Structure 1
Amino acid sequence: MENSIFYQEINNEKEVFEHSFKNKIPLLLKGPTGSGKSRFVEYMAEQLQQKLITVCCHEETSATDLIGRYIIKGAETVWIDGPLSKAVKEGAILYLDEVAEARPDVIVAIHSLTDHRRELFIDKLGETIKADPNFMLVASYNPGYQKGYKELKPSTRQRFIALSFDYPKADIEMMILENESGIDHSNAKKIVNIGNKIRNLTELGLAETVSTRLLVDASILIKSGLAKRQSMHVAVVEPLSDDEHTTTSLRDLCDLMI
């Protein structure tokens, strides 16, 4: 089956994922925002023809959200499985995006699924569920975001094998822009050059630098007919900062290089 999701491999990560799935070993993806972690998981789920269940974790995500809860339906109380329980039972790939953002009880809930037991205990039901053979746990996080505040403990990280993601080299990033947006090579090169220039401007103190995702968005806008400068402003500059001095500097840079 031909893949409908485009993904450009960088460092043999496809084979690592396949072996992780085959050997039932949890996989952790580490890297900055917009570096292709989620796209990679979607691509591999399609490649392996496995159902994918994605949970975008945030500071309010709890174990109950993942495992399930009782709800009132009509005159009775019924149990509703959460995404984690569904994935364990159905043999799906469960992707916990930005898992470090979730509440600590989420990490506790998945511990027994990340070792030889591969089982989930549902305390509200008093049941222990053995994971389907095709169940796979994949998690991602950004090690550089809020460093020292929201990080995974070493004891948690060592329950996974891990892949590091970063923004691709210029030639590969240009290929991604061309495939994702249909933009021509000349403009793709200019946009990638701008992205790399901004990534090297450490003096601006940006909390997050420009991601491949933002460069793809700019390419799509340019391809659709929006003026190049405005495309760069709205897709790259404005999402990066609210500081007037910083955005002015970034706009000037984009205008000069585009």
Structure 2
Amino acid sequence: MFLVDSHCHLDGLDYQTLHKNVGDVLEKAAARDVKFFLAVATTLPGYSAMRELVGQRDNVVFSCGVHPLNQDEPYEVDTLRRLAAEEGVVAMGETGLDYFYTPETKATQQASFRNHIRIGRELNKPVIVHTRDAREDTLAILREEKVTDCGGVLHCFTEDRETAGKLLDMGFYISFSGIVTFRNAEQLRDAARYVPLDRLLVETDSPYLAPVPHRGKENQPALVRDVAEYMAVLKGVSLEELASATTHNFATLFHIDPSRLQNSQ
């Protein structure tokens, strides 16, 4: 069996007390059949530092972008474009809109979001989208910037079935995290049942949002197995079928040769 953690922040894990190094994290994941990883950036300096931390690995690819909550430090769009074009970068982001924490930066967030999509279209790299308390603006900008040209994923999905439908209509993939296992997430489980198997991804968003029964502890890529097991039950399929579908979807969305996934086992 082969699982992919389609969204993790490998630079955010506890290397002081819980893990020796990145290799240790990936070995723990491999022991639970999690064998490929997308390491997601949230700032441009963070992207460069994460690439240095992770090094060159056959089973890790990267995204490059500026998170909507990290708009306090301005960045050069040309720098984003140059870094995003580097080898090993398969996606733009994470980008998007978050009005829950910093509504005062709405205009800056929107401009940044548009920049990421435009560069994604130029480079033919999909966008990884974060949205919170900003559903209508997120959908509107995705449409206006013709995101269908490069595609994307709404990561750590927390919206409802109706929003899922609108994203699916745009050709989007939808990624579920440990939140789907939380007791009060019935609306999310309804959406998960609705999203077809050929458009699903699974992720940890580690070090955040550890799934039940690990809630409250640091999340890590190994725990994407728990998310996948839970999703398989929700979807009424075997774990093997869910793993196969989500791995195939990952390779399709991020333009990764499926043989590379097999060879990294």
| TM-score using structure 1 length | 0.33
Structure (1 or 2) with the larger CA radius of gyration: 1
